[in-house]
Structure 1
């Protein structure tokens, strides 16, 4: 059917447009689903129209059968009354009704065949739409994962390109130099502290002499 060919063209055009523009994939996929839903609604409406035509054809067929039966009964009545001319007129009308019956039956058979095909195609379209909705969810999820991976890759790339680790290595080297300088200064201070101060030594000697004198004085008292 033409409607399904148009649907295929629409889907192909939308997908190609999605690839070419490379814009928001989630928005694009949703639009494709919306277009498919619209095509399904159109297909269902077309199916409903054919079903209405089938019902109308059945109604006309039944009316033609009723007319044929009526003219047949009238022809029999005329024959019973020995009125061949009137019977012939009734038969002519009956034959016209019979011709209509044959035409309506042929048309109904054709419509019924088309209706069965349409029903099958609508069911196929419903299945395809359900499949597309499932793929929609998967594609959106994949797009989000891909986007997240791109962000992470970009962050890692920016980190590498900015030389963050090189800067940290340089900073660590400077800190190590400061630590070495501090250690050296501490060692120098220790050496200076160990050197003898003459005033300190004099004070120590005086304190020792005073203590010895005190002890000697105590011994003399004993």
Structure 2
């Protein structure tokens, strides 16, 4: 039993400590797929109807589960579903973004996007410069996210979380998850395909962008 535990922990360490050169190709694929996804999302935002938020949410949620089932059976299908997901993510967030543009102008959205991009680059560098235990950091991030969701639902009734507090907590949690996801790529992906890893990075970035946008919008509305 002790020998099995030793082998498990030893292989666990080796999974985390993969040379950067061996994952450069995987990182390039993930960044390329994610970049195309963001471009398609911008089209979705531009074409989103006023009632698109709920429809977009349902489609995105369904496709997240569908991709998890199709990732091994048909990587091409999984990629296609990811690209469809990014378009309907534009529907989900589009009405809110259009509202910010109407109230504050396009500069606010642009600044939020640039801030998000720079932040993602910094977090990616952190994950590649340091040998991070991505399983542990992702586990902490997911537990914190679950608690935040529960607190957010409770706050709808008891009003103990301000919008800014919720946005800051969202920003912190998804920053942690982003570092974990980049560290997972740095470790070779642990068997996950480029599409699945791209989906994780994409969802991290969307949530960070929305949190930054809401914080900037809130500050602008108070000034």
State the TM-score, normalized to the length of structure 1. 0.22
Indicate the structure (1 or 2) with the bigger Cα radius of gyration.
1
Structure with the higher helix share, 1 or 2: 1
Structure of greater relative contact order (alpha carbons < 8 Å, 6+ residues apart):
2
